[in-house]
Every structure is written in C-alpha cells, then in structure tokens.
Amino acid sequence: MLLFDNLSRPGGANNIDWLKSAHGGMVQFERGDVRDSSALRQAAGRASQVFHFAAQVAVTTSLESPMHDFEINGRGTLNLLEALRALDNPPPLVFASTDKVYGRLGDVKLLAKESRYEPVDGELCWNGFDEHRAIDFHSPYGCSKGAAEQYVLDYSRTFGLRTVVFRMSSIYGPHQFGTEDQGWVAHFLIRAIQGQPITIFGDGKQVRDVLYVDDAVDAYLLARARIGALGGHAFNLGGGLRNTVSLLELLARFTELGFAFPQVQFAPWRPGDQRYYVSDASKFQRLTGWRPKTSVAEGLRHLQRWVLGGSVGPIVPEIPPEIEKVPA
C-alpha cells in the first residue's frame, strides 16, 4: 500500500507512524502533493487501485483563500485523473466527495424542535436525501469538491476510466485529529476531554447522519470490488436515519461517557451551512448489500478509548486524572 500525502493536516504524521508500526513493510509512504503533477504521475504508475482522499477540507479555509482551495480540490483531482488516463491500464478510482455538493438546502422546510431540526416533508423524515436531489454548489469548498466529482464522473463517461464517487456525510472514529473546521465529532470529544469550550456555528440544532470509519472503509472496499457494476456513478454515503444526531444532542451524549456537558459558545452561521442533512444510501445498499453496523453510542466509545489511550499526542494536553479513570 502506497500512501501519497503532503502531511499538511495536524496528526497526519502520527497516523503514518501508526500504520507503519501496525503493518510494517506492507505500508510505503511518499511525501507528495496532488498539485505536483509530475510526482503524482509517478505514484499513480505504481498503483493497482486508487482511493482519493486528498483535499482541502474546510469551508472556512475556502472562504479565506478560494484559489488555494481550488488548486488542491479541483486541479489536484484533475492532475490525478490525467495521470491515470495516461496509463496503458488505468487502475480504478474511488473518490471521496461531500454532501456539500447539495448546497445549503435552504428550500427544505424545517421544524425547530427543542434539540434538533426536522423536515416538514414526511418522506425526508423517513428516508433522507437521495441522489435525485439536485446538486447546488455553495461556498468555494462546495464548488471545488463539486467540480472535482463531476470531473471524476465524466472521465468515466468520456475516457472510460473506472471511477466511483461517494458523497460523504460526517465520518468519525479513532485516528481522526478533528478540528473546529473538519472532523467535528472527534473535535467535540477531544475538547470535552480537555475541559475546553466548544464553538458551535449556528444554534446547534443542525442534524447530520454520522458514519463510523470502519463502516466507511467497508463501503470503499465494496465499491472497489464491484467497480464494474458501479463505475461512473455517484452514491450518497452516511450513517442514515438510525445514526442521526444534532450538535447539541452529541454534546448531551458525552454525559454517557462520564464527563459533563461542555461549555458552549455560539458563533454566526457560516455560508452554505446545512440545518438538516441525512443521507439516503439505499442506492448503494441495493447494489452491494452494504449497511452501517456501528451505532453512535458504540462509535463514540471506540473514539473515547483511542483519545484516552494517549494516541492523540500533543494535540490533546495531559488528561485530568479523574477523566482517565472513566471506564470506556
């Protein structure tokens, strides 16, 4: 397995070290950047299959520097596609897109309940959003990821590459060094363990379907194994209705893990913020039999054990003794 990464994200080097210690010589690492088309071509030429996760991942960063965001997400993806197209036998590609390609979803009528928003439309309440929902790029991040996924899909149609796109909802789990801008489930838990305040953009009632990382990995491996049947298609991928949680509800769950409801400070909504998004992944489920297996409660316990095990390193300061003793 070849990992091609520029290590720009905090915690990336920690995860490389962990993978090498866990898998030894099966893991090779090359420090590189998707904006470097020459290095990317060389790496792609050594691959039998490609999982494309490299990205600028924060809406806030895209607002500060749209060009930087596009160079990584848009041009970087096109660099990869061109590198694959140049090969005599291009390997299959599975690409991580985002639910942000659906935009703010401002036309969806919602009820504001005590701790969450819920759609007025009963079908959305029971099923969530499927791939028939029109894409509507919002924010530079939404535009760059949306453009990237459309290139990935078109290179299947126009050039015959074997590609699959996943429009991802909120992924979480061990080895996620969450920040305020991305990886919010891990970020909230780490901040709570630190005893630090948490900033919520909006009112905290916004709802997401969260997907545990092991279930996401299962989906990616299935997509690769069945690329012949799935190629050229985009699929929603998330935890679904059984794994929905609002930001406020997630914080309330922390009491089940043994520590208090964190101090919360609120900030204005950000451009493109969705008040309600739940994936309808039935299209992918119907074609592969995949279903998420890990509940929110179980997934949070796994994440807590990893954080308390000290694996987060310098990003999490010394954990208070009373927290360390909480059973996971």
Residues with a known catalytic role = 141
Taking CA 95 as the corner, what is the angle to CA 93 and CA 100, rounded to the nearest 5 degrees?
165
Number of Cβ atoms within 10 Å of the Cβ of 107:
8
Tokens found for residue 270: 């950000």
Exposure of 125 by Cβ count < 10 A (0-12 exposed, 13-18 middle, 19+ buried)?
middle
Mark 8-46 as b/e (b = at least 16 C-beta within 10 Å).
Answer: ebebeebbbeebeeeeeeeeebeebbbeebebbbebbee
What is the number of residues in the chain? 328
Exposure of 78 by Cβ count < 10 A (0-12 exposed, 13-18 middle, 19+ buried)?
middle
Contact 223, 152 (CB under 8 A): no
Amino acid at 55: A
Taking CA 19 as the corner, what is the angle to CA 94 and CA 328, rounded to the nearest 5 degrees?
100
CA distance 20 to 28: 8
Tokens found for residue 242: 């059984």
Residue partners of 129: CB distance under 8 A and separation at least 6: 99, 102, 105, 236, 277, 278, 279, 280
